[in-house]
Amino acid sequence: MNTSALSQSRSQSRSRIRIGTATGTGTGTGLLLLTLLALPASAHDKRLLRSLALEPAGLTLHVLASVRVPSGPTKSAMLAMADANHDGQLGPSERKGLEDALIARALGGMILSVGTATRTLDGAESKLSIGDADSPIDLLIHGTVALPKSEASVRLTTKGSGESVDVEVLAGNRPVVQSSRGAPKKGTLKTVLGTTDAVVLRFSAYSATE
Amino acid sequence: MFRKIALSAVCLAGLTTCSSGAPPSIAKQIGARSELIGGPGALGEVGDYLLANDQIRLVIQGEGYSRGFGVYGGSLIDADLQRAGQSGNDLGGKGYDAFSEMFPAFFLKAMAPSKGGITTKTYPDGSASIIVTGTGAEFLFMLTRINDVVVPSTGLVFTNEYRLYPGKRYVEITTSVTNLGADAIKFPGDGVDALTKGVPFFLPVGDVLLFGAANKVFSPLAGFDLRFTLQDLYKTPPPLPGLPGLVTPFLATTNEHVSYGFASGVTDENTSFVKKAGYPNARPDDILVPFLFSGFTGAFYAAAPDVLESRAQFSFKKYFIVGTGDVGSIRDVVHELRGYKTGSLAAWVRSGLTQQPVEVSVVTYDASGNIYSQHHPIDGRFVGTYEPGKYSYRIVADGRFTTSPVPFEITEGKTTAITVDVDEPGSVNLRIRDVNGRPMPGKCSLVSHYVPAASGLDPMSFLYDLRVGEHRRPVDLITDKLDDEKTREYLEQVLYVGTQPKTELVRPGHYRAVCSRGVEYDLTEQDIDVTAGRLTELDVVLKQSVVTPGWISGDYHLHARHSVDSYMPYTDRITTVAAEGVDLAVATDHNYVTDYTPTIAAEELTPFIQGMVGLELTTLEIGHFNGFPLKYNPGPITKGAFAWSGRAPEALFSDLRALGSLGKDKTIVQVNHPRDAILGYLNGYNYNPDTGLPEDSTNLFLAPEGPEFGTNNFSTAFDAMEIFNGKRFDLIRSYRVPDVLPPPPLPMTIPPAGSILRDSNGKIAFPGGLDDWFVLLNQDHRITATANSDSHDTDDEAGYPRTYTPVTDDRPGSIPEIDVVAAMRSQKAMLTNGPLVFFSVGDKGMGEVADGKSGSVHVKIQVRAAGWVDVSRVTILVNGTPVREFDGDAASLANLEADIPITRDSFVLVEARGGKSMWPVVTPLEVPSVQIGDAVGGIAGAFGINLNPFGNLQPNRVGVVKPYAFTNPVYVDFDGDGAFKGPGVSAQGLRAAMEAPRSSATRQKLSEMPTLLKVFAAFNCH
């Protein structure tokens, strides 16, 4: 499912999207995001869980944001609010409303900068899974931002966002060589950003022959 | 004049002694108008309930919908002191009520009285009560979804008991919530976990107060500046369970004859919201003020219990206080209620020169430098109670500089006496005449400049102090230059005058007096020196440089004292409109029918201005609608206004027309500021300019629900739409992404500069009324565009902008209303804040159909402007799209002609604009009004709900005012059927369809995908 505003960005700036050829799957099994998605459905945690994964691929930085609403009262209330006509079902526009709210929740307060420039997500798309009563609500957003060929400094800032964010950086074909949160491990990094927080990452320069 | 009875002096020595032997209080249903209170804010009517003792009187509205600005009956709507010789008559009371409304708030939910739910009661101790019983109900229907989750109210019964004890100047109000259901109820509901992320949250309860614009609201610490104090507090919100807002021991107001106060009666830390929420240094009886907008002041102070068992009840208490016009008389009662040990300050305030009493405001500070209280001396004297300690006072008065602090000390049980000698004020006597020497109304703006050292500073930090009650001094909003004082100008004061010379107090200084009379007169400038203790004469001649025979200018949206958000007396209202050269002033108070005609006659302004009776029907969430010309019915309290809540627009329009003085078919219904946040009709129904249709809201949190909402209730059965409202240029065109982005916060996704900003549904994020109007014209809705000031006070100058219409007699006093109606119904209206634009297509004028069968039309344009109004560009638009632009100046753009190609039935209109600020005649929009979105957003933000997904990427409401004018259209018949037929689909809609996202043309092979893309691709929606 597309989200219009994000998709609009994609359509307006598609020419800027360049996806690298390397697969970069070396750390894929350790994805924090996958771990999140694999959480037992019966975990009735009341908190919303946010995560953000970054993966450089050539001149493109892939960004995957997610938000999870645990099953239980939190999910029930969220669905009740989305059910505008109170018929117990989520029609297309109601589902869209829920998705929009969760997109705002997933990305709320986050600023991604490459060098000194604040960047927006190109070609962003979102997917929403509501599942059955015992399942959580999951929302995923994927988009990209362009990286320079030279060594790239990426800053991820949270400012007044609702929840903390679990951040995982995959090495892709441009490992993290330095971060403001300690030394990267094999070009990867895991950290947590508070509601007003920041992390600075330095990715290696990109060589097309790699 | 601060003429008040000397009640305070009698009581202040010992409040409790006033009550001994006092006669019992009474509570009764009002059976005759003579029992009403009366006054500029009075809304009480026969059938309401009166609560009175020997000190004060209160009116609680009966059942049904609110007669004021709120939604439901059962609210406190009138309050005043008991006054000697104030007996009312068949027309009503003769008191000085200036209060608007107060009702209980269960978080964001109000209370609706049940049928037969209002009763009276008397007690053996002489007290009397009015008890209102009802159920929880929406106050703002847009909050229904949040309230449904946070405030479960099924099975709950609410009661509000107003109990008045003999001899007291306060009413004790106890709000009780009883669970009549079979099950226990949790506060807040389970669903709040979704919002609070597991952080414990205590449901705040309290009241919403509408003090009314005539009352200046005060709180200790913030003084008279609650608005900017709150704005600052919003920047550093406390963590949950706290909510952003001002914590204060009480609220008070000042006014000429009567003041009001509000204090919490919660003394238990376990039921105090501010204590449970952990506000630092808070007392249990402190109040949290989380919002203040459009006259609505929120006051939360009690916390609901976590669980209310079946058949159980919880209660919280508060006090509404009536004072003698100042804060001190309110504070005295607060001290009494809380049992503070106090001493007294007794002051004698007089002119240092004449030793006579003077009218001033005395503001006092505590030893920490925080504002503590404020007094209005009566006949030069006041007495007020203080907690023992060290204090200081300052004198704030018209025509004088606020004095430096002078220390004094209060000892428990003793009286500290002070004598204050006040300097003489400066004063200016203004007279304005025409070139023939005849007096006429006008205004002089007194301009000064601030020192270079203040360059770039916030004017509030050096130019005036709102906390002590000084008025704001507008600045030019030009970037300051150290070496150019013309870039550092501010407006000290604006003097308005009618046909009689007028003297006003002005602070001593050197000023450039810029005198004006609207858009048809040139300016006259004169330097003056104002000296303390002396009268400066200012005698000015103004010359009319633009004449408009056969046309009149009208301001079809004006407010005065019967609007909850305007303090202006009718005399000031009329003088200020006449001074701006407006020919026709249409009175449009909120839910109150007003007639300016008697005031115009009394002020001898009939040759200069004519009044028209009207009304702004003001709903909370589906828009504001003006009706005119209306009948003035002196009988009803609101002179003919009617209930609006729960009613759809079509019914409201019909009822407005039924009030018409010329008949239903000759009454204009005008939709005001259609895109002004919650106040805008097109916003209320999610009118989509891409489709030309209203749409259901997809907002998860803010989606109004009720019988009047929903797409089926949207109606285009109105005549006019106010496209150009005051200084709100942000409401005219749909917002486009600027070349230079504003500072963060910004959304993650930003379209290219120049493109229309859209939300996540692809809908225009901030639609403009002019673009909406183009769509409506394309849909064959012959709606007349209008321009009005929506002026509430002198900060928003009347007549900027205004609407010009043709009439058969253009002399004020003789303007035929039927001509105005005819012009408004046939789109013969030109909208301007400065330049005057007249045009024709072929031989046809606005609202008419020109022949365009040849594929081309000839357009003739005349542009006229007074010397101070810049004109630099004139644009011809066809179907809303610019097709020809002329650049130049007023002389070169005065007469223009062009042949314009036409390819279908079209509408043609002309726009003119100037690039220079209209300062100082028209001041910049420097302080935008607080909107409900700001208020609700503060609370929503505490729950992590972001109601503003665009951050700072939104229209800028602050800025200088530049000349702008546009016309209504001339239609062009291209296909030869003798009429204009719109395409029915907007150009914007077509463009949006073309811009719609396309599906990806190619898909990458899975094996080449980065891991994150694989994860995303593998994720299944279900």
Q: Does position A15 have pLDDT exceeding 50, yes or no?
A: no
The two tokens of residue B950 are: 């665009």
Chain B residues with CB under 8 Å of A156 CB are none
| Nearby residues of B114 by Cβ (< 8 Å), 6 or more positions away | B63, B133, B134, B135
Burial of A40 (C-beta count, 10 Å sphere; 0-12/13-18/19+)? exposed
- What's the DSSP call for residue B231? H
Better-scored residue on pLDDT, B146 or B966 = B966
Look at chain B and count its residues. 1022
**A8/B758 Cβ within 8 A:** yes
CA distances from B680 to B620, B672, B797 (A): 10, 7, 21
pLDDT tens digits for B199-221?
778 889 999 999 988 899 999 98
**A80/B191 Cβ within 8 A:** yes
pLDDT tens digits for A121-132?
877 788 888 888
Confidence bin at B700 (pLDDT 50/70/90): low
Confidence bin at B232 (pLDDT 50/70/90): confident
B97 in Cβ contact with B52 (< 8 Å): no
**A21/B997 Cβ within 8 A:** no
B62-76, B244-258, B317-331, B960-974: segment of lowest average pLDDT:
B62-76
**Using CB atoms, which residue from B148, B762, B1020 is nearest to A129?**
B1020
Query: Which of B893, B894, B898 is closest to B873 using CA atoms?
Result: B893
The two tokens of residue B624 are: 């504001």
Q: Which residues of B85-104 are buried (b: 16+ CB within 10 A; e: fewer)?
A: ebebeeebbbbbbbbbbbbb
Average pLDDT score over residue span A164-182: 87
How high is the pLDDT of residue B1007? 45
Chain A residues with CB under 8 Å of B745 CB are 109, 111, 159-160
Q: Does position B855 have pLDDT exceeding 60, yes or no?
A: yes
Residue B262's SS3 state is: strand
The two tokens of residue B694 are: 């209203």
pLDDT tens digits for A18-73?
212 222 333 333 344 444 444 443 444 556 788 899 999 888 899 998 888 888 87
Helix axis angle for B932-942 and B226-234, nearest 10°, is: 40
Better-scored residue on pLDDT, A172 or B561 = B561
Judged by a CB distance cut-off of 8 A, whether residue B270 touches chain A is no
Judged by a CB distance cut-off of 8 A, whether residue B751 touches chain A is yes
B426 in Cβ contact with B532 (< 8 Å): yes
**B696/A84 Cβ within 8 A:** yes
Judged by a CB distance cut-off of 8 A, whether residue B991 touches chain A is no
**Using CB atoms, which residue from A9, A97, A104 is nearest to B949?**
A104
Cα separation, B301 vs B271, in Å, equals 9
pLDDT tens digits for B342-387?
999 999 999 999 999 999 999 999 999 999 999 999 999 999 999 9
Answer whether the bond into residue B598 is a cis peptide, omega within 30°.
no
**B750/A170 Cβ within 8 A:** no
Task: Count chain A–chain B contacts defined by CB atoms under 8 A.
Answer: 197
Percentages helix, strand, coil for chain B (3-state, rounded to 5) are: 15, 35, 50
Torsion of CA B481, B486, B489, B495, to 10 degrees: 180
Burial of B135 (C-beta count, 10 Å sphere; 0-12/13-18/19+)? middle
How high is the pLDDT of residue A6? 28
pLDDT tens digits for B127-161?
999 999 998 887 777 677 677 767 777 788 999 99
> What one-character-per-residue DSSP string does B710-728 give?
SGGG-----SEEEEEETT-
Average pLDDT score over residue span B317-342: 97
- Per DSSP bridges, beta strands B426-433 and B535-541 are parallel
The two tokens of residue B982 are: 């719109």
Helix axis angle for B769-778 and B987-995, nearest 10°, is: 110
Q: Does position B944 have pLDDT exceeding 80, yes or no?
A: no
Confidence bin at B335 (pLDDT 50/70/90): very high
Chain A residues with CB under 8 Å of B189 CB are 77
Q: Which amino acid is at B170?
A: Y
Burial of B109 (C-beta count, 10 Å sphere; 0-12/13-18/19+)? buried
- What's the DSSP call for residue B240? T
Cα separation, B971 vs B965, in Å, equals 19
B451: left (phi over 0), alpha (psi -120 to 50) or beta: beta
Report residue B577: phi and psi, to 5°: -75, -45
Q: How high is the mean pLDDT of chain B?
A: 90
How many angstroms separate the CA of residue A180 from the nearest CA in chain B? 22
Better-scored residue on pLDDT, A163 or B994 = A163
Report residue B500: phi and psi, to 5°: -105, 140
Chain B residues with CB under 8 Å of A108 CB are 944, 946
A46-55, B360-369, B527-536, B796-805: segment of lowest average pLDDT:
A46-55
The two tokens of residue B94 are: 């003769």
**A96/B1022 Cβ within 8 A:** no
Q: Does position B845 have pLDDT exceeding 50, yes or no?
A: yes
Q: Does position B195 have pLDDT exceeding 70, yes or no?
A: no
Chain A residues with CB under 8 Å of B1016 CB are 64, 125, 127, 140, 142
**Using CB atoms, which residue from A22, A84, A161 is nearest to B703?**
A84
- Per DSSP bridges, beta strands B502-506 and B535-541 are unpaired
Tell which of B149, B749, B947, B1000 to mutate to test the A interface (max A CBs under 10 Å). Answer: B749
Closest chain B residue to the Cα of A14, Cα to Cα: B1000
- What's the DSSP call for residue B459? G
Chain A residues with CB under 8 Å of B750 CB are 9, 120
**A7/B697 Cβ within 8 A:** no
| Nearby residues of B381 by Cβ (< 8 Å), 6 or more positions away | B9, B346, B347, B348, B349, B357
How high is the pLDDT of residue B703? 65
Judged by a CB distance cut-off of 8 A, whether residue B750 touches chain A is yes
| Nearby residues of B282 by Cβ (< 8 Å), 6 or more positions away | B247, B272, B274, B275
Average pLDDT score over residue span B85-113: 87
**B148/A34 Cβ within 8 A:** no
B679 in Cβ contact with B624 (< 8 Å): yes
B563-572, B703-712, B752-761, B883-892: segment of lowest average pLDDT:
B703-712
Chain A residues with CB under 8 Å of B952 CB are none
Average pLDDT score over residue span B647-653: 95
How high is the pLDDT of residue B935? 67
Cα separation, B443 vs B497, in Å, equals 6
**A142/B1016 Cβ within 8 A:** yes
Cα separation, B640 vs B637, in Å, equals 8
Q: Does position A3 have pLDDT exceeding 50, yes or no?
A: no
How high is the pLDDT of residue B247? 97
Cα separation, A187 vs A173, in Å, equals 9
Chain A residues with CB under 8 Å of B698 CB are 93-94, 96-97, 100
Percent of chain B with pLDDT over 90: 72
Closest chain A residue to the Cα of B701, Cα to Cα: A81
The three-point CA angle B633-B635-B638 to 5° equals: 75
Confidence bin at B110 (pLDDT 50/70/90): confident
**B749/A9 Cβ within 8 A:** yes
- What's the DSSP call for residue A181? T
Judged by a CB distance cut-off of 8 A, whether residue B461 touches chain A is no
Average pLDDT score over residue span B918-926: 97
Q: Does position B13 have pLDDT exceeding 60, yes or no?
A: no
Interface of B with A in 941-970 (CB under 8 A): 941, 943-946, 949
Query: Which of B352, B3, B357, B61 is closest to B210 using CA atoms?
Result: B61
How many angstroms separate the CA of residue B985 from the nearest CA in chain A? 21
Cα separation, A58 vs A172, in Å, equals 8
The ipTM of this complex is 0.81
Cα separation, A58 vs A52, in Å, equals 19
Q: Rg of the Cα trace of chain B?
A: 30
Residue B714's SS3 state is: coil
Residue B332's SS3 state is: helix
Interface of B with A in 143-172 (CB under 8 A): 145-146, 148-149
Chain B residues with CB under 8 Å of A6 CB are 749, 760
Confidence bin at B701 (pLDDT 50/70/90): low
Answer whether the bond into residue B629 is a cis peptide, omega within 30°.
yes
B137-141, B194-198, B468-472: segment of lowest average pLDDT:
B194-198
How high is the pLDDT of residue A162? 65
Tell which of B146, B1005, B1011 to mutate to test the A interface (max A CBs under 10 Å). Answer: B1011
Chain A residues with CB under 8 Å of B997 CB are 2, 4, 7-8, 10-11
Tokens 């007699």 belong to which residue?
A: B809
Chain B residues with CB under 8 Å of A172 CB are 1010-1011
**A8/B751 Cβ within 8 A:** yes
CA distances from A66 to A24, A159, B577, B1011, B1019 (A): 20, 18, 57, 15, 11
Burial of B765 (C-beta count, 10 Å sphere; 0-12/13-18/19+)? buried
pTM score, whole prediction: 0.81
- What's the DSSP call for residue B594? B
Chain B residues with CB under 8 Å of A120 CB are 747-750
pLDDT tens digits for A130-151?
888 778 888 888 888 889 888 9
Q: How many helices (H) and strands (E) does chain A have?
A: 4, 11
Average pLDDT score over residue span B815-821: 98
The two tokens of residue B791 are: 């002026």
How many angstroms separate the CA of residue A145 from the nearest CA in chain B? 11
Q: Which amino acid is at B869?
A: V
For residue B917, how many C-alpha atoms fall within 13 Å in the half-sphere facing its CB? 17
Q: Does position B992 have pLDDT exceeding 50, yes or no?
A: no
Burial of B664 (C-beta count, 10 Å sphere; 0-12/13-18/19+)? exposed
Tell which of A13, A16, A23 to mutate to test the B interface (max B CBs under 10 Å). Answer: A23
Look at chain A and count its residues. 210
The three-point CA angle B784-B787-B792 to 5° equals: 135
Q: Which helix (H) or strand (E) holds B941?
A: helix B932-942
B925 in Cβ contact with B961 (< 8 Å): yes
Query: Which of B228, B639, B665 is closest to B460 using CA atoms?
Result: B228
Tokens 């449970």 belong to which residue?
A: B276
**A120/B758 Cβ within 8 A:** no
Chain A residues with CB under 8 Å of B701 CB are 81, 101
How high is the pLDDT of residue B7? 36
For residue A172, how many C-alpha atoms fall within 13 Å in the half-sphere facing its CB? 33
Chain B residues with CB under 8 Å of A54 CB are 1012
**A12/B745 Cβ within 8 A:** no
**3-state SS string over B296-329?**
EEEEEEEECCCEECCCCEEEEEEEEEEECCCHHH
Average pLDDT score over residue span B543-568: 95
> What one-character-per-residue DSSP string does B437-458 give?
S-B--EEEEEEEE--GGGTTS-
Cα separation, B626 vs B586, in Å, equals 10
**Using CB atoms, which residue from A28, A37, A127 is nearest to B1011?**
A28
Q: Does position A5 have pLDDT exceeding 50, yes or no?
A: no
